[in-house]
């Protein structure tokens, strides 16, 4: 494969945006991703949510931060996502 093909394969990774709900683990944060979908029968817009365990090399993220995560190879049994960037800092009380 030439370099252009390799670069295009690397770019086709899923990215999601969510809020950090837990930062208590070492090198791992839990990210809650919410999406709004139309209910197939009722037709009402409902919010679906899912939690993802995402890998963080340096611990710079706290609960409440809005982050972008990208799909990667499986790192552990539950981790196959990495945090790529901080979008918005969480509000502190």
pLDDT digits (tens, 9 = 90+) for 53-87: 999 998 789 999 999 999 999 999 999 999 999 99
Confidence of residue 25 (pLDDT cuts 50, 70, 90): very high
Q: Select from 33, 32, 89, 79 the least CA-distant residue to 57.
A: 79
Q: Select from 23, 19, 24, 31 the least CA-distant residue to 91.
A: 19
Judge whether residue 20 has pLDDT over 60: yes
Which structure tokens are listed for 88?
A: 């918005």
Q: Select from 49, 60, 50 the least CA-distant residue to 23.
A: 60
Average pLDDT over residues 16-40: 96
Domains of the chain: which residue ranges?
14-88
Judge whether residue 11 has pLDDT over 70: no
- Residue ranges of alpha helices (H) inside 1-93 are 3-11
Q: Which pLDDT does position 83 carry in this prediction?
A: 97
The third-level CATH classification (topology) of the domain covering 14-88 is OB fold (Dihydrolipoamide Acetyltransferase, E2P) (2.40.50)
């Amino acid at each position: 494969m030439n370099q252009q093909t390799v670069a295009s394969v690397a770019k086709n990774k899923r990215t999601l945006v969510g809020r950090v709900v837990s930062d208590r683990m070492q090198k791992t944060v839990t990210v809650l991703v919410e999406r709004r979908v139309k209910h197939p029968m009722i037709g009402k817009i409902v919010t679906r949510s899912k939690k993802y365990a995402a890998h963080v090399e340096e611990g710079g993220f706290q609960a409440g931060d809005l982050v972008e995560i990208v799909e990667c190879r499986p790192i552990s049994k539950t981790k196959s996502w990495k945090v790529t960037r901080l979008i918005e800092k969480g509000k502190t009380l």
